Amino acid sequence: MCGFAGFIDFNKREDLKVLKAMADTLVHRGPDDSGYEFLQNVNAHIGFGFRRLSIIDLSPLGHQPMYHADGKLLVMLNGEIYNYQELRNELIDLGHFFKSNSDTEVILNGYKEWGISVIEKFIGMFSIALFDDEKEKIFLVRDRAGIKPLFYYKNNGTYLFASELKAFHQCASFEKELNKDALALYFKHGNIPAPYCIFKNTYKINPGHWLCIDLNSKEETSHCYWNAFDAYNQKPSSLNYEEAKVKTEELMESAFNYRMVADVPVGVFLSGGYDSTAVAALLSKTQKKINTYTIGFENKDFDESKEAKKVAGHLGTNHHEYICKMKDAMDIIPLLPDLYDEPFGDSSAIPTTLVSRIARQYVTVALSADAGDELFAGYPRHQKGRNYLDAISKIPTLLQKVAAKPSSLISNLFSSDFEKADKWSRLHDVLNSKDSLEAFNHFNETFSTSELDRLLIDPFQIQKTVFNSGNELNNSVSNLNKILAVEYKTYLVDDILQKVDRATMSASLEGREPFLDHRLLEFVATLPDEYKLFEGKGKRILKDIVHQYVPVEIMNRPKMGFGVPVKDWLRLELKDLFMEVMDHDFIVKQNLFNPKLVERLKDKFLEGKLHDTERIWFLFVFQMWYKRWM
């Protein structure tokens, strides 16, 4: 796990000093080593800057940027290729030579043998920057699920690319102008979905895509090499439940053990829930006594440590528990704009950062357990959404359009002061949706489009996202699987994975995602709905696998979110910070938001009369970000 930054400057103005400044903003991602390659190509100045966190092949031979032996190919890798040993042996049989034991060198020789299609052979998490000097092409590649981030900026003959946005601020060519359309997306989702970014002319590489920049023609080409929707469009599995359970466990075991490959200590985040317990239980079958890490809180409403301890005791792990004081969590809030250098509204970033700091005292690599909900239908909204969508699909389209008009009129007549969501405007948006994905999106938005029209001063356009790509899914795909497919490509990548990457890397900890092995998704996507959501309960097949190793009585407890009481802190201990960033005069000067509406929203919150506190949290987080970066 590392971080990199670089540029392609057709104006030939950028230099080694800029490159070093860009890369060194990412020292938290890679404190162990640094490398910089500044190349003066006939067409452009090219910079490749790297910060290394040593995980595989700790020797200097793993140094990056890494050249191929012939000197005509250069690569940087952020992440891990877990099946690199198998690929290395295959390449040796084909006549290739290796000087290191690193997975990075496998990319170089693999590209020489198979071209850019080599990435389709990888089992792993990765963002890659690769320069082919002979073909005069630079590739920017992101892994299938989007575990590893990769941003780029293009404007006036300059491309910048980096693992985090903060690197761009070191370059004079970067013009930091707010993208108002992306701002609207943030207030809808609490994050900015790929490929969009908070700044104009700035983008995220989509998961499962690569971007190629031709140095001769200056043209760019984007290619999708993997799409989760394709898995859901496959022919449904004919396996009976027991056969499917065996196959699911086999794939999970393979995926989990791959993520233990490292030349440094590895641990597992253990909450005591089904996802993390599955990881710990299956690894305990084949690995020596594994290390597990849990944080708890003095506030019992947010404490899962006792449940995690029971699971660890049953499995016999080497368990570490740290009970945090709420001040530990509160102290992270002012740091959020630096950790998440794009507005990010998921408050569970706070405890995730805390547990990462604790784990880093013992290990360099930690396995998380994200995506269990997205694979196996674990969120309450999955059942609710499926039920709503099934009901709506029975209403004729014409009748939906007719019903949408009065809902819009009612919304205009009885619009709220934002103390709670405008259900009528949501109903209007749902009934006007062209398919299930758009409807599900409107169910879950924090601010509807009509509410944003009132909140934001400047006009905006709601950009198309994955939620608008329902036509890519076959009509035979069930509403539940449509929900899971779109969650995998939206909430998972833009919220969960972004949260875990920034939190872990802020502590120089490599976070690995065992449930995000693409082989697991490709199989589970074909399973019938009832193997996942059964008799009103999600994760059926996952839970039955876990119950083979951990008794039901240990696991049987209500689902608990990984959160902290931010709404109480903003009213009490952090009220000074809250009032500073939400200051009326400052908001007027910003000229982004309707000042009177924000003031009413702030007053309702401080009086304890705001029903949906996520709304004020999104505003608060954005204001902190704006003060830091704009």
Digit-coded pLDDT (tens) for 296-317: 887 777 778 889 999 999 999 9
* 310: enclosing H helix or E strand: helix 305-315
Q: How confident is the model at residue 44 (pLDDT cuts 50, 70, 90)?
A: very high
CA distance 458 to 207: 30
Distances (CA, A) of 400 to 406, 427, 431, 477: 11, 10, 5, 22
Q: Catalytic one among 2, 197, 212, 324?
A: 2
Q: Does pLDDT of 112 surpass 70?
A: yes
Dihedral angle sign, alpha carbons of residues 395, 398, 400, 402: negative
Q: State the pLDDT confidence band at 214, using cuts at 50, 70 and 90.
A: very high
**Does residue 399 or residue 313 have the better pLDDT?**
313
The rounded radius of gyration (Å) of the Cα atoms in the chain is 24
Q: Where are the beta strands (DSSP E) in 215-263?
A: 220-224
| Separation CA 80–CA 58 (nearest Å) | 14
- Give the bridge partners for 206, in sequence order: none
The pLDDT of residue 390: 86
Q: Residue 595 to residues 263, 343, 578, 590, 592: CA-CA distances in angstroms? A: 54, 20, 16, 10, 9
What is the per-residue pLDDT across 541-585, written as a single tens digit (0 to 9) for each?
999 999 999 999 999 877 666 667 888 888 888 899 999 999 999
Rounded to whole angstroms, the Cα distance separating 337 from 344 reads 8
Note whether 2-226 and 230-378+487-555 share their fold. no
CATH T-level fold of 230-378+487-555: Rossmann fold (3.40.50)
Write down the pLDDT at residue 413: 46
What is the C-alpha to C-alpha distance for residues 165 and 26, in angstroms, rounded to an integer? 10
Q: Which CATH architecture has domain 2-226?
A: 4-Layer Sandwich (3.60)
171 noted as active-site residue: no
Model confidence over 319-359: pLDDT tens digits? 999 888 878 888 999 999 999 999 999 999 998 999 899 88
Mean pLDDT of 523-546: 96
What does the domain layout of the chain look like in residue ranges?
2-226, 230-378+487-555, 380-478, 566-629
pLDDT at 535 over 50: yes
Q: Coil, helix or strand for 572?
A: coil
- Which helix (H) or strand (E) covers residue 505, if one does? helix 498-506
